[in-house]
Amino acid sequence: MINFLQNQKKRGVVLSTTYYKRPLGVTLRGLFYIIEGAIAIFCGLLLSTTTQYIETYLNRLPQSYEISTLLQILDGGLSYSLIIWLIVAGSAGIIIGIGVLKGKRWAWKITIIQTFLSIATGLIYFSHTNTFPASKLIGTSFQLIMGIVIICYFFQPHIRAYFNRVPTP
């Protein structure tokens, strides 16, 4: 290996020996993207194979608004759209997760945008749905806190340096 490096140096090839240590939070966020993506793909594939069985089971239950809405989704084109959406979103999540783990600048930008959208979605959910107030408050609070933590963490100088490939001491 040493001879190879010496030969490359003689030929004028510059080899970078700068190593970038990936921060733990970046590793966790990248792994969460990959896990979320894998779960979404799994759910899309599971839904594509079990839609008819779910419909049969739900038809046996006493009718309520939630069940009739779910049956409308499963019956027809919405089911296929949901399956395609789950598989595409899951694939994107895996790609973004790999980009975060590799320290790609575009993955940093997507993470920031996705986190801001998640916070906005949580606020809209909190203000416009008619669910039980305590569960709405707990879920939205957790979503907001996690979003703010992720954004503050990803804007720290050593995290930005990792994604911008600026050597850190």
Is residue 80 in a domain? yes
- What is the per-residue pLDDT across 94-115, written as a single tens digit (0 to 9) for each? 999 999 999 999 999 999 999 9
Q: Are residues 52 and 81 in the same domain?
A: yes
Instruction: Tell me the residue range of the domain where 31 lies.
Output: 24-102
Kindly report the pTM of this predicted structure: 0.74
Q: Are residues 50 and 120 in the same domain?
A: no
CA distances from 27 to 22, 50, 64, 149, 150 (A): 7, 34, 43, 15, 12
In contact, 29 and 111? CB cutoff 8 Å: yes
Q: Are residues 94 and 109 in the same domain?
A: no
Is residue 136 in a domain? yes
CA atoms of 140 and 119, how far apart (whole Å): 9
Last residue of one domain, picked from the residues 78, 102, 126: 102
Q: pLDDT confidence of 165, banded at 50, 70, 90?
A: confident
Last residue of one domain, picked from the residues 70, 102, 134: 102
CA distances from 147 to 36, 60, 61, 80, 102 (A): 16, 40, 38, 31, 22
Last residue of one domain, picked from the residues 49, 71, 102: 102
